[in-house]
Amino acid sequence: MPSERDVMRDATGTPPAENVVETLTQTVTQTVPQTVTQVQAGEVTAESVTQRSLARIAALDGEVNAFLHVARDQALAQARAIDQKRARGEPLGKLSGVAIAIKDALCTRGLPSTAASKILAGYEPPYDATVVARLRAADAVIVGKTNMDEFAMGSSSENSAFGPTHNPWDLTRTPGGSSAGSAAAVSARMVSCSLGSDTGGSIRQPAALTGTVGLKPTYGRVSRYGLIAFASSLDQVGPFATDVRGAARVLGVIAGHDPNDATSLDAPVDDYEAACGRSVRGLRIGVPDEYFSGGLDPEVASSVRHAIDALRDEGCVVKAVQLPHTRFAVATYYVLANAEASSNLARFDGVRYGLRAREGNAGRDLRAMYGATRDAGFGAEVKRRILLGTFVLSAGHYDAYYLKAQQVRTLIRRDFERAFEEVDVICSPASPTPAFRLGEKTDDPLAMYLSDVYTLPASLAGLPAISVPCEPVHSGLPVGLQIMARALEESTMLAVASAWEARSPARDLLPPLAGRA
Ligand code: GLN
């Protein structure tokens, strides 16, 4: 048996091959809470956990493209500092030595933060997002920044300026989006958890497509200070993890009031982990008819229904609920999100951050420089959204589109209020289909937008929602069960999620690629 020291040296330098294999396989089965327990007990060092994560990234990411930037030196230095802290007998945080990956939409001090856009190429923020600072304070180790759709606009990662991420379950398919790299890195067990952001489904849909747990908190539960803004009335940061408890642990660390974010709620943070494993007997589950029709893949439908039946066996009461305005969610979202994006993205003009165009006409005057920079820096989908957003806000169209969409948003929120008078959580599919092929929807923006048909309503209503793996379809691709709850009732949602996870046939399934390294 190699000692911990040997293992560390192995991963950095000249290892005997079998030690590396052993080291790498160990990571595959470890959850966030398990790693923390081992690091705190001194059974493994934070440095060795980090080395394992870096070794898996090195072995697998050539094919997956989950990372835009691997922070090797910074991560190792951070890990060593944690080990020294332990050696001095100081108490360690709730994420001691856990290797975590961060979506590139979040600002990380001294590390590139580009939101996968050329316009922010080379940008290194002078500060950490609040969530990142909280992770560091909890002794997590940031191993890198993950790939995504440019400015979080997309459902497949194909809008990244740096090439798409590939789904570890089938490299010809998308891991979903926009938090593609954060989902794929967890799915391939390069890390046991990561952070994503979810505006209309960007945590839940990729979690469903990669067989990981992905949680979007209540609007305002988690600070967005340092999140590169897409649509500010919708954006939330949340965790991905290999299991429900891992997601609960990370949520507990990042949740809570932040004076730097005026929308963050000053409400007490529950003990989310304590909710995992709690009895769900007597809890009422609503199943909305509107989510089981239309373009829903029949195999996804039966997998999700099977999960709901299993929860009934656990003592939950299952009943039908109506969310009649669901069919307006996609249209409402794309008016509001684009309107907000057109305003948020106005700041990228070549003056303060990243790219500045200098060629051709760009030198003529300030306006020409703005235009040339934005033309060169933004990808096609981002431009489409800025144009649509500017259109719906413009004089003469504002009432017909923007104002109308705000009114429909209220109706969607009221649907949920009514349903939650009768039930405690609402269950549905997270995505209408399993992972689709890369290239399959790139020519059809509407087909791509429909990937979010089941995640958008909770976003518009500001409610918490989670995707938990359920039985895969026959081809082996993962399926996600979405559980939505009342505002600030993440604990109820987590109790149901962990009750299902304990019985889920997907519980111990790993993508073939994960076992290869
Ligand atoms: N896929 C949706 C969009 O393209 C949602 C993205 C997100 O949640 N960031 O806008």
Here the CATH number for the domain that contains residue 297 is 3.90.1300.10
Q: What is the mean pLDDT of residues 493-510?
A: 95
Model pLDDT, residue 478 = 98
Contact in structure between 376 and 360 (CB atoms under 8 Å): no
| Cα 21–Cα 22–Cα 23 angle in degrees, nearest 5 | 90
- Label residue 17 by pLDDT band (50, 70, 90): very low
Instruction: Work out the average pLDDT over 443-472.
Output: 96
Best probe residue, ligand 1, of 117, 199, 205 (max atoms within 8 Å of C-beta): 199
Q: 458-486 pLDDT, tens per residue?
A: 999 999 999 999 999 999 999 999 999 99
For residue 178, report the distance from its CA to the centre of ligand 1, in Å: 6
Kindly state the average pLDDT of the residues 282-309. 96
Number of domains in the chain: 1
Position 516 in a domain: no
Q: How many CB atoms lie within 10 A of CB 61?
A: 22
Query: Catalytic residues, which ones?
Result: 103, 178, 202
Q: Which residues line ligand 1 (CB under 6 A)?
A: 152-155, 178, 198-202, 230, 337, 452
Tell me how far the alpha carbon of residue 281 lies from the centroid of ligand 1, in angstroms: 35
Residue nearest atom 4 of ligand 1, based on CA coordinates: 154
Q: What is the pTM of this model?
A: 0.94
Residue 18 lies in a domain: no
* Cβ–Cβ < 8 Å for 118, 355: yes
What digits encode the pLDDT tens for the residues 83-97? 999 999 999 999 999
Q: Is 297 domain-assigned?
A: yes
Using 50, 70 and 90 to split pLDDT, how confident is the model at 26?
low
Nearest atom of ligand 1 to the alpha carbon of 334: 10
Q: Note whether residue 218 is domain-resident.
A: yes
The whole-angstrom separation of Cα 476 and Cα 235 is 32
Higher pLDDT, 121 or 422: 422
Lowest mean pLDDT: which of 186-195, 217-226, 363-372, 493-502?
363-372
The pLDDT of residue 11: 36
- Calculate how far, in angstroms, residue 413's C-alpha sits from the geometric centre of ligand 1: 19
Q: Tell whether 135 is covered by a domain.
A: yes
Task: Assess contact for 134 and 221: CB atoms under 8 A.
Answer: no
Long-range contact set of residues 404-408: C-beta below 8 Å, sequence gap at least 24: 404/335, 405/331, 405/332, 405/335, 405/336, 405/339, 406/336, 408/325, 408/328, 408/331, 408/332
pLDDT for res 359: 85
Q: Please state the rounded mean pLDDT for residues 18-45.
A: 76
* Residues 188, 171, 293, 197, CA torsion sign: positive
- For the CA of 456, the nearest atom of ligand 1: 5
Compute the distance from residue 225 Cα to the ligand 1 centre, in Å.
Answer: 19
Tell me the residue range of the domain where 289 lies: 4-13+30-328+411-503
Residue 337 placed within a domain: no
Confidence of residue 28 (pLDDT cuts 50, 70, 90): low
Judge whether 165 and 61 are in contact, CB under 8 Å.
Answer: no
**pLDDT confidence of residue 2:** 36
Res. 6: pLDDT tops 60: no
* Domain assignment present for 110: yes
**Residue owning tokens 């794309």:** 334
- Flag whether 350 is in a domain: no
